[in-house]
Amino acid sequence: MAAVAKQPERTHEQRRRLSVRGVVQGVGFRPFVFRLASRYRIGGHVRNDGSGVLIEAQGPATTLDAFERALRAEAPPLARIDGIDTRTVPAQMPGDFEVLPSGPGHVVTAIGPDTGVCDACLREMFDPRERRWRYPLINCTHCGPRFTITRSLPYDRARTSMARFPMCTDCEREYRDVGDRRFHAEPIACPRCGPPLRWIDALPPAGAAMRAGDRRGTEPGEIAAGGGGPREADPREADPRAVDPRDPDPVSAAVARLRTGVVVAIKGLGGFHLACEARDARAVSRLRERKQREEKPFAVLALNAASLSGVADIDSVDGELLAGPERPIVLLPKRPDCDAQLAGVAPGLHWLGAMLPYTPLHYLLFHEWLGRPAGTGWLEAPCPWLLVMTSANPHDEPLVCNDDEALHRLAGIADAMLTHGRDIVVRCDDTVVRSGSDRKPQFLRRARGQTPRAIALSRATPPVLATGGWLKNTVCLTRGDEAFVSQHIGDLDTAATRAFLEESVAHLRKVIAVEPAALAHDLHPDLHSSRFAAALADEMGLPRLAVQHHHAHVAAVLAEHRVDEPVVGLALDGVGLGTDGAAWGGELLWVDGARFERLGHLTALRLAGGDRAAREPWRMAASALHLIGRGDEIVERFADQPAAPTVATMLARGLRSPATPSLGRWFDAAAGLLGVRALSSFEGQAAMALEGLAATLALPRRTDALWRIDDDGTLDLRSLLVALADLGPAAPRAGERVPTQRAAWGAALFHATIGDALTAWAAAAARRRACTRVAAGGGCMLNALVSRRLRDGLAREGIELLEARAVPPNDGGLSLGQAWVAQRALFQGG
């Protein structure tokens, strides 16, 4: 690796030692430093060390200053410099600049997240003179897979799923050349030495027994390894089920089949997608049927932002999110005729999830569809072809990520499969973001392109492993003053998701290269995540801490903002177990590190029929009517619900109807009262519908008649319920499916009142405690109208609102909060 740049001899030289911290390993940083050193004609060397990159630079002082400035200004695209410590050391004999190997015992401290294909690789892939012309696994130091192909640290090819593919001499030369874009690009590949594409024209029908699948539950590397045969088998050997790789071309075969309306499974970075033409309503409804996903929205893949302009509104903030190297799914406001053009893709919602291509294979599909245009001009032009791209998983199970597993688990779901032999070691879903009401991005789901990016913490402690909650589970492992939150794992309803939780913990321990010294989990002992943590703590002989759900929500916000002083916290969420054994969810807290105090909660609503009430907003509406003494209206208002008389009786007698102050359930109640939604087919559906409706109007200015703060700290919203009950329909409106103008007004009134009431409630608590910051977490903070009203209202009181930015505000952020609390409870004396 010793590369040398020739330098002239000079006098009056200074020598500086620069220690660069941040994301500077495995991102092409050393070659970048080498090129800069050549440009400024300075001597010295660069090498990786335990905390980042160490540079010794020797030359005239002014040149060294310029070199340092350029180091910050021109760093490679995937690098992030957190700090440079500079000190002067004695000058040495002038000499050449060298790239040195890493010191003995050195471990590359972090691997990067998976990144969308870069512009340089794209240009190369579509240039017929290049040897990687149309090669679907092209990548370089600035782009491609990382996290999802790596089994353990240190990050080198031998520990990735590319280990099975020995480099050809051309690739090897690029890999060793410090001046090449592929210097130490671990997944480097080309048509000669890398895996080829495979096209499998017909998947077996549902129920056909395949091997694989039953291999679940072993360690992640094993699950991912190989195409079903022994690991040593030649990976390029054609599968008998695959067509001859030379004829037809897999990409053109896939495009031809997509045009006929079939569902094709396509291998991505963190798993397979199921794809079909988004403008083909029959194909979309077939996909829905097969995925058993009646209404949950699908995301679409478009060639570029311009291609989406007919279906969604894209401002500059959303445009940047879409085109960023992380390539998330971005929720965009729909244009009026979106549903007509993309029937069944995201029905009944005001937002469309969209993303731009991120694997070279995605681009090849568009190129093929366009008839293989020459040059690269087509990349910028609008293209009408939109693909539905949804995670390939049977209903509610984790993403499918390997070929054999795909054949087995997607039988009866996908018709055909476009894949390749680069195994996915750990599955990783698409990240979903939305630009918040302050136009800053906010995660709904954090996964591909983000994991395993570290979140900087205010304190270093021994490592803590936190196992999250039940819904939208993630886990978090700390290392010193960094927190690594896993990719989105999912709801722990199925055995497959639970196994994925355990795989994710095992994989995270290997790629972060630390072992936990303590465990943290939810207060509820029966969640799978809590049981798993308890078992692991016993097995390893480690202390563990149960953390209250809403305390963890506020703590997650404090963790990323590195706030250590006590603050007022708002936890605006679904239901979580409280310290009194009741279901909490609309909480005003005083959070002081590992301790918290419950200052108040929203008026509680009864969950008629228990958990079922969370899926049936009309039940929450019935509960609201009961609360305001209008229980006698329940049967007539919900005459189309067969259970209405039973629910009315349950509420009247207080049977099977536990109470909760959860704000999420208040949204359901409002949606039910206003006739917006009687039933939810996925979590948050009623709240999203209500928000979309309210967003069509200007929110009312004054709402103080509709709420009050009781002496015991309860935020009493009964007057708001009365107003909503009066606005909503007194009986089911037969055949009417579009919410009325009265419902829209009611939705606007609801959002404004909730925002104002929360503001006054939190501000009063902050004044009493002489505190100028409020930290708000929980899934309801994804509501842009409420969060804006709250932020603006608190700002007028001179109070700063802290919100979740680095992780989702919903339960996907719980593990970070749990780890933060455990750091303080177990290692800092509380």
Segment 776 to 795, residues that bind Zn ion, using CB under 5 A: none
**Which helix or strand (DSSP H or E) is residue 669 part of?**
helix 663-673
Strand partners, 479: 482
Give yes or no for residue 534 binding Zn ion (CB under 5 A): no
Closer residue to Zn ion in complex, CB, 142/350: 142
Give yes or no for residue 78 binding Zn ion (CB under 5 A): no
Tokens of 159: 């520990």
Tokens of 51: 């905390």
**Closest of 163, 110, 120, 160 to residue 143, by C-alpha:** 120
Q: Rounded to the nearest whole angstrom, what is the least distance from the CB of residue 119 to Zn ion in the complex?
A: 8
Helix segments in 115-168, DSSP class H: 119-125
HSE at residue 155, side-chain half, CA atoms within 13 A, is 25
Segment 630 to 689, residues that bind Zn ion, using CB under 5 A: none
> Could you say which of 143, 278, 416, 512 contacts Zn ion (CB under 5 A)?
143
Q: Rounded to the nearest whole angstrom, what is the least distance from the CB of residue 78 to Zn ion in the complex?
A: 10
Give yes or no for residue 27 binding Zn ion (CB under 5 A): no
Closer residue to Zn ion in complex, CB, 165/500: 165
Q: Rounded to the nearest whole angstrom, what is the least distance from the CB of residue 129 to Zn ion in the complex?
A: 17
For 500, left (φ over 0), alpha (ψ -120 to 50), or beta?
alpha
> Could you say which of 168, 534, 678, 709 contacts Zn ion (CB under 5 A)?
168
* SS3 per-residue string spanning 234-285: CCCCCCCCCCCCCCCCHHHHHHHHHHCCCCEEEECCCCEEEEEECCCHHHHH
Q: Rounded to the nearest whole angstrom, what is the least distance from the CB of residue 573 to Zn ion in the complex?
A: 41
Contact (Cβ atoms closer than 8 angstroms) between residue 600 and residue 609? no
Distances (CA, A) of 545 to 421, 521, 822: 42, 6, 6
Give yes or no for residue 125 binding Zn ion (CB under 5 A): no
Using DSSP, state whether 656 is helix, strand or coil. Answer: coil
Closer residue to Zn ion in complex, CB, 173/562: 173
> Could you say which of 5, 37, 57, 121 contacts Zn ion (CB under 5 A)?
121
Q: Give the interface size with Zn ion as a residue count (CB under 5 A).
A: 10
Segment 170 to 189, residues that bind Zn ion, using CB under 5 A: 171
Q: Which stretch binds Zn ion (CB under 5 A): 117-125, 262-270, 449-457, 568-576?
A: 117-125
> Could you say which of 79, 140, 312, 775 contacts Zn ion (CB under 5 A)?
140
Q: Which stretch binds Zn ion (CB under 5 A): 138-146, 727-735, 752-760, 804-812?
A: 138-146
Q: What are the b/e assignments for 223-258, b being 16+ CB within 10 Å?
A: bbbbbbeeeeeebeeebeebbeeeeebbbebbbebb
> Could you say which of 190, 303, 567, 782 contacts Zn ion (CB under 5 A)?
190
Closer residue to Zn ion in complex, CB, 121/605: 121
Closer residue to Zn ion in complex, CB, 190/607: 190
Using DSSP, state whether 456 is helix, strand or coil. Answer: strand
Can you point out the beta strands (E) in 321-398? 329-333, 351-355, 387-391
Angle at 520 between CA 519 and CA 524, to 5 degrees: 130
Cα–Cα dist 83/24, whole Å: 11
> Could you say which of 20, 79, 110, 118 contacts Zn ion (CB under 5 A)?
118
Closer residue to Zn ion in complex, CB, 324/347: 324
Contact (Cβ atoms closer than 8 angstroms) between residue 522 and residue 468? yes
> Could you say which of 39, 192, 395, 595 contacts Zn ion (CB under 5 A)?
192
Q: Which stretch binds Zn ion (CB under 5 A): 169-177, 296-304, 649-657, 792-800?
A: 169-177
Give yes or no for residue 269 binding Zn ion (CB under 5 A): no
x-marked contacts with Zn ion along 423-452 as a string, rule CB under 5 A: ------------------------------
Residues at the contact surface with Zn ion, assessed by CB under 5 A:
118, 121, 140, 142-143, 168, 171, 190, 192-193
